[in-house]
Amino acid sequence: MTGAFTVVEPVMGTVASITVIGERTARVERAIAACVERLRDDERVFSTYRHDSDISRLRDEGLELGDVDPRVAAVAADCRDLRERSGGRFDAHWRGWFDPTGYVKGWSTDAAARAFDELLAEGAIEAVGVNVGGDMRLRTAPTSEHVWRIGIAHPTREGELLATVEVVDGAVATSGTSERGAHLVDPRTGVFLAGPVSATVIADDLTTADAWATVAAIAGIDDLDWMPVAPVASGIVWEHGRTRRFAGRVEVSAFYDALAG
């Protein structure tokens, strides 16, 4: 039977847990160290809480994108695209300065998870999951039949699940008010979301899942106009006891209602 173990490290103001399905070899340990190192280096560049980060210097010292780490310009371009595609439901400049907090964690986790590329390609491990603050990049070797089964916590009923999803190779991200309270802001109005609201998105990568989970939470239960342009596999939006599910850019309940009619 294949072994499994988890390593937990503090990073980005939260914790990263790296779960490996496979033997704990020296190569695996090096991959874990490289994964954590990438997360911490991205934190050094993008943290809004560090006065010496590239993001803070960009804001406080009047620097241009060309004056800071090139990763910042790459993320800024992605955020501009996301603002357009989401109809302004996501905007990294809503504060009046560049703050990619709702985007960069997923982007960084995807990059960090690439430390396991060779191990997975060779079948040296069966699977690896990188969980940063509850958002997960889940990977499985091509030769493995491993399936990740992920429970989505109910936003208001402690200990209960809203849904369970199965992922072979992809990502799951949740955004909302249940864990951190009213921290989400609609960039179009500058108003904080009071909640309770929760949105979970499943996509091929965590960059996409994390960003569009934020969009879905800000849009709320009555606004799925963003869905046809979102490059996501499926998801669920919950607000004030109401639930809407979607898959393949189609609302699932609406699809089945149409079949019944």
Reported as a single tens digit per residue, the pLDDT across 1-16 is: 468 999 999 999 999 9
- Overall pTM > 0.85: yes
Query: What's the token pair of residue 227?
Result: 């869905």
> Average pLDDT in the 113-122 region?
98
More confident residue, 155 or 29: 29
Secondary structure (3-state) at 83: helix
pLDDT at 34 > cutoff 90: yes
Cβ neighbours of residue 37 closer than 8 Å, sequence gap 6 or more: none
Cβ neighbours of residue 118 closer than 8 Å, sequence gap 6 or more: 124
pLDDT at 254 > cutoff 50: no
Question: Over the chain, what is the mean pLDDT?
Answer: 91
Q: What is the dihedral of CA 28, 34, 37, 43, to 10 degrees?
A: -110
Distances (CA, A) of 14 to 10, 35, 132, 155, 163: 6, 15, 7, 19, 24
pLDDT at 240 > cutoff 90: no
pLDDT at 256 > cutoff 60: no
Q: Please name the amino acid found at residue 150.
A: I
Burial 147-175 (b: 16+ CB within 10 A, else e): ebebebbebeeeeeebbebebebbbbbbb
pLDDT at 253 > cutoff 90: no
Query: What's the token pair of residue 70?
Result: 């090139």
pLDDT at 258 > cutoff 60: no
**Architecture of the domain defined by 4-260:** Roll (3.10)
240 closest CA partner among 187, 191, 193 = 193
Q: What is the pLDDT of residues 191-227, one digit of tens each?
A: 887 768 899 999 999 999 999 999 999 999 999 999 8
Query: Where do the domains of the chain lie?
Result: 4-260
215 closest CA partner among 194, 229, 233 = 229
> Average pLDDT in the 219-245 region?
91
How far apart are the C-alpha atoms of 105 and 83, rounded to whole Å? 17
The percentage of the chain sitting over the pLDDT mark of 90, rounded to a whole number, equals: 76
